[in-house]
Each structure stands twice: as structure tokens, then as C-alpha cells.
Amino acid sequence: MDRNFFLFAVIATAATASLCSSESLASPHSTERDGDPLIRQVVDDGDVNRLPLGAEHHFSLFKRRFGKSYASEEEHNRRFKIFKANMRRAQRHQSFDPSAVHGVTQFADLTPFEFRKAFLGLRGHRLRLPVDTNAAPILPTENLPTDFDWRERGAVTPVKNQGSCGSCWSFSTTGALEGANFLATGELVSLSEQQLVDCDHECDPDEADSCDSGCNGGLMNSAFEYTLKAGGLMREEDYPYTGTDRGTCKFDKSKIAASVANFSVVPLDEDQIAANLVKNGPLAIAINAVFMQTYIGGVSCPFICSKRLDHGVLLVGYGSAGYAPIRMRDKDYWIIKNSWGENWGENGYYRICKGRNICGVDSMVSTVAAVRIGDTSIAAAAAGQ
Ligand SMILES: *[C@@H]1O[C@H](CO)[C@@H](O)[C@H](O)[C@H]1NC(C)=O
């Protein structure tokens, strides 16, 4: 392994990781506003009076569409207030991100703080990458296709839903291993997030109290390390998702459906990311999700977006001719599989523009290789036997 690269990767990860969600969760100051001070400065003037007419009407539609009901009138009024604030936020996001559409989503009655706590879950105090992390070899980048989508090639399972549990990291991990396993075996098998939520308590080698912790967040590289040590992941149907982390670990080694051969971090370089995606399958990535709370569709390309990583997702492809309204030129974009169900975004997917590490999308990217069928010597070695 290239030591210099590894050192760089460790430092880079520490720099981004220290900005991640657990800290923002602990901070009461950033609860009602976009965390990014730059956004705050730009939008604080004037916008407040542009409240759309008929907020009551929109709120009724929202409640009906997403089956919302509230326990008391106080709660109802509180949620209506938050809803109105979120409509103003969606409006700000729209003016900051004109090539996407922002508006009312199923998260429109949640404060940004509640949203981050329940629907994200990238936990980032970690200073060191797990011991078995490799640096991805540099790949040739000539002859990359201009458009590429693993969904068309059968490597991506249907969109899943993490519910109100900060377990995004486990969905990003299973998504990457599902793709790698498809490439290794030709079979697409949906893998168990619940196994990771219940059983993966992998910690930072240097910080014993910074560990993968179910609905309270985790990291994909640590989850790959757990999976390598445990021997593999079970099928989704053999260990189904419950969306809580109060159960005990029910991992059954005799029912392993996919195993990790190795995993690697990809350098912050869009051509290398694309080359790794095309060669190795969907990639586990982290992102700042602030614009995702109000995202409806289109290519998200905000003028300013924090690079504080707080959400784990799956990179499945890229394209070159993104939807763009008048005056906006076509945009290159990444295609990202999210874990908030098919009713969010573009049938559960998010498109974000390529080119300038928008929302930190290029800064924490990992690729995993799966053990091939029948290759038990690797499986045994991977499980440390
Ligand atoms: C990871 O495993 C795959 C499949 O066994 C192998 O082809 C590849 O060279 C390995 N990569 C690293 C970085 O060891």
C-alpha cells in the first residue's frame, strides 16, 4: 500500500469527519437554520415576507398526501409553524439551486435538527480508517462512457426505506456490497441492513467510544471492516429491517449471502470516482444532505453547499444531459440511490451536479470487492479463520 496516500487519506478523512453529524446533532445553535453561515448571510434579508399564500391549504394537502396526523392541537400548530418555515426554506433552496425543483416533501413538518437526527446517520468522529482499508489503485480514465447507470445493468436492488432511524450508513454499505456481489457472482441479492444495525459496533482504532451504533449513526468503511471480520452479510429476507436498534444481534453464520474480499478508499478525483464506479460497481459515498430535505427532482447544483458530511448514500451512475431550465446549460451529474423510499426525490433517487465536489459528494468514496462464489479460501481468510 502507498503509505503517503494512506496518510493523506487519513488526514483528509479526519478533516471531513470532524465536521459530521454527531457534532451538529449535539449543537443546539444550528437547529432551526441551514448550518452553513454563508447561506444564512445571503438569505437573511428580505425573504421572510415572501411567504406563499395559502399555507393552510398546502398544509392540508401535505397532511393528506403523507397521511400525517398529530396527537394534539398544540402539536398540530407547532407542526404548521415548522411547515411554513420549511416552505420558506424550500423557496431559499430553489433560488440557490435553480436547476433542481424544491418544495414540499414528506419531511416538511420536521425541523432541520429533527430531520438530521432521524433520517441521516453518518457518524463521524472517527480519526482513523479501519486497519483493513486499502487505497484504490489509480485506474485509466480514457474511454470512460459519457453516460453510465448500474440500474440498467441489474446491479442495483429496489430503493429501500430507513424509516426514522439514523442508519443511512448501513444502506450505503449493503448497496455497495449488493453491486459488488452481483459483479462477482452474476446474482443480485438484497442484503441485510438490520444485521449491521444490530451487530456492527466497529470502533475507531484510536477512539474506543466512537463506534458504529445502529440508529445513532455509523460509517461505511467501519461497516465494511465489520463485514470482513464477521464473514459476510445475510439476505434481507433472512434478517429483515425493523428500523430500530433495540434488538439483539441475530446473525447466523450459516446463512451468509455475500462476503467482502477487500475495500478501498477512492481519491478525491471525479475521473477516478467514475472509473472505479464503472469497473467495480456502485460506490458507498457520503454527502451533505441539507438540500435533500426539500428536493423534488432535477439536477441539484446549489451555488453554495456545506461540505460537512452527514449522510451515507450509494453512487450508481452518471450522466451528461441533465434537466436544465431556460438559461441553464446542460449539466453533468451523478446518480445517487437514497434510502428514504420511492416516494422521495426521483423515485427514490437524487441527481447532483458533477464538477466541483458539491455538498462534499466526492470527498468520502469507497469501493468494495465481493468474494466470488465457491472461493471459500478467500472467505475463510476474510473471516480470519
Ligand atoms: C480485491 O479483491 C478483488 C477480488 O478478489 C481483487 O481482484 C482485487 O485485486 C483486490 N483489491 C485489492 C486492493 O486488494
Phi-psi region of 193 (alpha: psi -120 to 50; beta: other; left: phi over 0): alpha
For atom 7 of ligand 1, the residue with the nearest CA is: 369
Q: Is the CB of 261 under 6 A from ligand 1?
A: yes
Is the minimum distance from the CB of 259 to ligand 1 under 6 angstroms?
Answer: no
pLDDT digits (tens, 9 = 90+) for 3-14: 444 333 333 333
User: CB under 8 Å to 287, separation ≥6 — which residues?
Assistant: 309, 310, 311, 312, 313, 336, 352, 359, 360, 361
Q: Would you please indicate which residues are annotated as catalytic (active-site) residues?
A: 168, 311, 338
Structure confidence at residue 27 (pLDDT) = 30
Record the pTM. 0.84
What are the pLDDT tens digits along the chain (385 aa)?
344 443 333 333 333 332 223 333 223 333 333 443 333 333 333 344 455 558 899 999 999 999 999 999 999 999 999 999 999 999 999 999 999 999 999 999 999 999 998 899 888 656 678 889 999 999 999 999 999 999 999 999 999 999 999 999 999 999 999 999 999 999 999 999 999 999 999 987 777 778 999 999 999 999 999 999 999 999 999 999 999 999 999 999 999 999 999 999 999 999 999 999 999 999 999 999 999 999 999 999 999 999 999 999 999 999 987 655 544 567 899 999 999 999 999 999 999 999 889 999 999 999 999 998 666 555 555 555 4
| Closest alpha carbon to 228 in 378, 13, 6 | 378
Ligand 1 center from residue 371 Cα (angstroms): 9
Q: What is the pLDDT of residues 68-77, one digit of tens each?
A: 999 999 999 9
Contacts of residue 94, defined as CB under 8 A and 6 or more positions apart, other chains included, come to 100, 101, 102, 103
Residue 283, beta-bridge partner list:
315
Q: Each residue of 151-200: pLDDT tens digit?
A: 999 999 999 999 999 999 999 999 999 999 999 999 999 999 999 999 99
The closest residue, in CA terms, to atom 14 on ligand 1 is 262
